[in-house]
Each structure stands twice: as C-alpha cells, then as structure tokens.
Structure 1
Amino acid sequence: MNMSFVLREENRTLLERVRDMIRNEIMPLEDEYQAEINKGDRWQYTERQAEILEGLKAKAKAAGLWNFWLTDSDKGFGLTTVEYAYFAEEMGKTPLGAEVFNCSAPDTGNMEVFERYGTEKMKEQWLRPLLEGEIRSAYLMTEPDVASSDATNISMSCVRDGDDYVLNGEKWWSSGAGDPRCKVYIVMVKTGGDDLPKHKRQSMIVVPADTPGIEILRPMEVYGHDDAPHGHMHIRFTDVRVPAENILLGEGRGFEIAQGRLGPGRIHHCMRAIGQAEMALEQMCKRALQREAFGKKLAQLGANFDIIAECRMEIEMARLLCLKAAWYMDQGDARAAAPWISQIKVVAPRVALKVIDEAVQMFGGQGVSQDTPLATAWTHVRTLRLADGPDAVHRRQVARAELKKHTQEKI
C-alpha cells in the first residue's frame, strides 16, 4: 500500500501564500476584530468588524486563495484531502482564518450537500452565493429532548401537507444560526413512522432562515460565552411550511446525506485543531523564553522542558493520524475511512486541549484572561469533543471495527 502525505509542488507554493497572508495580514487584525464584538448589538457586525472581515475576504478572493475545501472538484484547486489538511491546519491558527478563505464550518459541509444532492434551483439560490462568500448557512440536527449522538432519535416532525412539508419541533446547538448573514438551514427531520427501518425514518430538508414560524429562542452559551456574532442557537419551529421540492433526495434519505456530509466536516475540524495546538505551543515557547521567575527563564524551571517536548511529540503524532485518515478518505471507500476519522476525531481535540492547557499554565493568570487567545481556544476545542459526535460514540466505532477483525458475530 503506497501511502503518501506529500504536497504537490504547485500546492506547496500555494500553501506558502496562505501561510504568509495568515501571519502578515490576518493575525495582526485579530485583536481589533475581537474588540469590536462587544460594541453595540453583539449579533450584528459593527462597521469596522465588517470592514476587517470583508476586506480580508476580498483580498483572499482576488489573490485566488478561495474555496480550498473543494477537494477533487473542478470548482476548486483539485486538492486531495491529504493536501487540504495542511491548508486547514494553517487556517486553524487564527479564528478568522477559515472564513477569510471561505472554508468555514458549517458552510463547507452544507455546500457539499448542495453540490452533491441539491437541485439546480438550490444550487443557484444557495450554493452559488455560499461559494462566493456572500451569505452564511447553518446545519440543524441536534435536538434538546433526545440523545442526538444516536441520530435515529431525531424527532422533529416533518409532515407532508399538499405541496408543502410542515415542520414542528426544536433544534439547538445550531452553529452559525446567530449570524445575521445566515440565510438558509439544512435541517434533519423525521418523516417516517416507527414501522420503517430505523435508518429510513429521517430526511433532510432545506429551509430559508426567514420562513414564518421560525423563532430563535436563545444563544447557547459555552462556558458562559455566547460566541457572538456566530452563535449556537436554540430554535423553535412552529407550523413552518416549506415547499415539498425542498426535501433532499426524497423521504428517508437523511442518513445517506449525513454520512456524505459529516465525514469531511469531522476531519476538517481536526485539521484546524492541530493548527490551534501549534499556535498554543508557539505561544508557550515564546513565553517560556521571555518570562523570568526565581532568577531563571520559565523554560528552565520545573518540568517545562519535558512539557514542551511532550507537546511537540503529541502534535506530530496527531498530525500523522489526521493525514492517514485523510489518505483513506482520498481512496474513495467511506466505510474503510470511517474508523480512521473516528480515531482522529477523538485524538485531535484531546491533544489540542492538552497543549492549550499547558500554554495557559505557562502564562499563569494571564492565560485564563481575555489578554491571550488561549482561553477562547480552549473553550472552542473542548466543545469539539462533543460536536459531530462525542468521544464515546467515536471510540465505540473504533472498538467495533477492531473487534470485527476477530469475530463473525455482530458487534
């Protein structure tokens, strides 16, 4: 098996251009952008915030640094998933990185859904402006009253009524739904009765965000933070009528679409988490060499040499596992790739959390404050251990794949 993690020469040059823009144009504006969030309405972009974000996006787009996530597509650069991993890692080093290059979740997953499964009308109405970075979107799956890590529990009612479907129920942790630019939702719903096979009861439907009957109840807070203006919203649907043509592929195809969407989304999160770990290690090392206590640099105190070394080694191991999962995805066999995606989905957030936490420790009280990006990074990566499936679910999948090698029994 010839497994290669090498970037093609032309893509190495492309990656250097991305890395240069992140370091020299995006990172210098991070603090100013973040400071704008607390001015006025947190759920609207201030004039300066929009100027920063849209200005950076325009620069990236004009330079052709756009939509890298479109792997193996004639609309993008034709990157493999392995190659995209290097780009996503760089974008993960700054909170603005993914959006500046139009590679943000949940938009990338939603765009894949529209491209693979959408009608021509959907592609024109929603895919085109998403690809251009003109609007944002949200993916609504998780529900407050059921264990949504088992998606067969999804119970939002979706009933056919003439030429429409009528939706009733609640969704929460709807990431991105707080953004004023969010114009469309892709929603996992229940269309089939309990008499159907359990994986044929759910469907996906496209819902414009301004449809009557949709009520945003509240932003969900992550350790006390509402993540404005992006947000993770709790939403109620009351007799929301959507044209029947908005159902994707037809009733009962929800799981098929979900598997096509969630695999890439999970690994993209992991790639960016490795970038966050790299930035935390960089900040830790600089702090250790600049700060003194007890007459010595912090690097020379306690076990800090060992801590820095362990962080470097664990990041390298996580990156290799991520690249291996990406390689399996590039082979086109989703079933073979799934256990590897589950492995990195557990490992990448775990490693990133450890490195970020060690960096916080090196900074002392400043590390948990708003004066460094570390506390926010830790909060986001801790959430990643739940997003797209909690650790326990992914470990279950890894264990099942391992046990199947040794038994004919159903695991």
Structure 2
Amino acid sequence: MRVTVVGCGYLGATHAAAMAELGYDVLGVEIDHAKRESLAAGKVPFYEPGLGDLLADHVAAGRLRFTNSFEEAGAFGDVHFVCVGTPQRPDGLGADVRYVDAAVASLAPHLREGALVVGKSTVPVGTAARLAATLPAGTELAWNPEFLREGHAVQDTLRPDRLVLGVASERAERVLRDCYAPVVAAGTPVVVTDFATAELVKVSANAFLATKISFINAVAEVCEAAGADVVALADAIGHDDRIGRKFLNAGVGFGGGCLPKDIRAFLSRAGELGVEDTMSFLRQVDDINLRQRTRVVQIATTMLGGSVARSRIAVWGASFKPHSDDVRDSPALSIAGQLHLRGAMVSVFDPQAMEPARAVFPTLDYAETALAAARDADLLLHLTEWPEFREVDLDVLGSVVRRRQVVDGRNRLDADTWRGAGWTVRALGRS
C-alpha cells in the first residue's frame, strides 16, 4: 500500500511523517512552494515537538517525499488522505470548504481504479456525501477525522485514543483497517460509522470541550464575587468521574485554529439544517470565552490605578497553548493587543512563537527572554503556561521589574510562593 497526503500544513505534515513511521512509502502533495521546499529538505516550517526529527529521518531514508503534482499523486497512491484546512468563512461563521473541494477535484481525474480517498479535514456534516458523488467510478471516499492536540500531534497520530472510520462499504473499512493495522494492533479502539456521524464526531468533541472550558470560566467569575477558589472547586468536582478534571482549568480561555472556528461552524451548520435553536448555547460558550480576555484587561487596568496608558506591561506567552508556535486566535496576543491599543507599552516573550506573533502583531515590542520582557514592568501577565515561566528565579525577576504585580491568567503559578517573594498576585476565579 502506498499513501499520499494532500495538503501538508500542520495536520498533513504530521500525518505524512506518521504514515512513513508506520512503514508506508508516502508522497505529500503541497502547492505552496516555500512550504514544499522546506518539507522536502526535512525541515518542518512550524514548531511541533518530535515532528522535526521524524520528518527528517523519513525524508533522508527516501520513504517520504513531496510534490505539487496531482497527476503524480494519482499514479502513486492507493490511499489518498485529504488534510487541507477549513478556516472560518470570511463572510460568516461557517467553515470554508473550498480548499477541500479543490483538493478532491484536482485529485479525482488522476485516481487509479480502486483508489480510496480519505478525508481528514474538519468539515460541515454533509460534505463527504457531496464529495463522494464527484469521484470517478471504481474509486471510493471515506471520512477519518483527526483528533490532534497541538504539542502532542505525533503521539496522537501514532497512538490515538480512537480511530473513527466513516465508510460506505465493507471494502473501504477493510482498506482503512489495513492502513492503520499497526495502530489497531497497539490497542486503539475503532469506531466504524457512516459519513455524517464521522463528520459530526470532531465538531461535537470540540464543542463539548469548549463548553467545559467556558463553564468553569463562568463559575470562576462567581467564585471571585463570592470569595471562593475556583481551582479548589474544580479539583472537587473533577473527582466525579462523570465530570472529570481535564479541561476544567479557569483562565483566559481557549484559542487556536480548531475550537473557536469549529464551534462557530457547528452552530452555522445547525442553522442550515433547521436546528439552530438546539445548538444556540454555543453562542454563549463563545461569548464567555471572549469575555475572559476582556476581564484580564479590566483586571490589569484596575491594578494600574484605572488606566494602562504609559504603563509598561510584560506579557509572558504568545502562542495559544504551550509546546506550540500557533498564534491563531491566541488569547495572549489578543490581550496584549488590547492593552497596546489602550496606550500601554507592551513587551512580549514566548519560547517558540515570537516570529508568528510578530507577523500578526508587528506593533508590539518583543523581548529576547522572559526577564528582558519584564524589565521595568509595572505589571506582568502570565498568559501561556510554558513550564519555564513557573521555574523563573523570583529574586532575579523582582530585581528587574518596577512593580511586583502579576496577573496569572492560567492559574498555574504558585501564588503563595510569589506572594512570599513580595508580589501582588491576581488570578481569575481566586480571591
């Protein structure tokens, strides 16, 4: 079996390298020249732990290579994974599927008899059935949604917590089971279902996780008003195995390229299907999430005496989560930008996301180290929970700032230790 991967961005590059690791000869299809050249040289054009070495090893071994030719891909592959992006549409909340449509349309004329096209992109329900009707006779479509967590993408591909196979025939199921045989043999559960269910699994999972995060953030605001501690509260309710502790971390909320746009696309598609009212709570989930950013700006303003103008503010974190350089819809950068627009002098540091952040917010100042960002700061904001931020020497940090004030936007700093070092500490949901 030979595998192609169409679209070699974050999802596609990871999937291509993982398929090579599972033993397949893999051809990646990428039309962006710069990205393709970087991958062909064995270099990942973004940060993801473990992926660089994996990619470089298989490119060097000749097991993984890249092209921009759909004709070459069609002649090469038995199984074709479509991994292109589905961003939010510029004219509304729905998912923009034109890249998926274009990928399938470009590949279809070159497919060999018996080829299986496998969608992995997150798409509105109904997309798979529509695309299946466009494929030539003797070929098939399946839908196999991805569940990658940035920072853990390699492990999530090679040892996923489940495989969802949306198929329309026993043959398609058999081909996918064969393709994932090493993964299945390692004990990964397999859920076989129809196209529509497979498409809904990913957006449903993301909507649930987003709801859980917004729930604890709403409770955090109640905790502040009542003088309670949201971290202790989350620990307590997290012991209930019906609830669980994961994703019950109050803070500045979620971001990235998946959860925000997926819940909006889910709501949009529900409206198209005539069941918008039943999913209307997702609007509130989105609103609560965005409100967290405003709350941090309000807290910062209060701590600086009612105005941030001409104050120096250090922001630790730019990526939307640690172990990633992804700044798409990043709460940290959003907050930094809002403070800058209010007249603050904002200095940002992130261990991996400095260049992507500069590309999005070029007007902010960027420091070379966490300590450099904090120099002469009137306020420090901890907004992305990189481990190194929790290991800083508080005596040294205290000697470079102007005022020992910190807002812990992730509830990950040891507040007692910081207060013992003379800092005023504010955190969302804690007195």
Select the structure of larger CA radius of gyration.
2
TM-score (norm 1): 0.25
User: Which gives a bigger RCO, structure 1 or 2 (Cα 8 Å, sep 6+)?
Assistant: 1
Q: Which has the higher helix share?
A: 1
TM-score (norm 2): 0.24
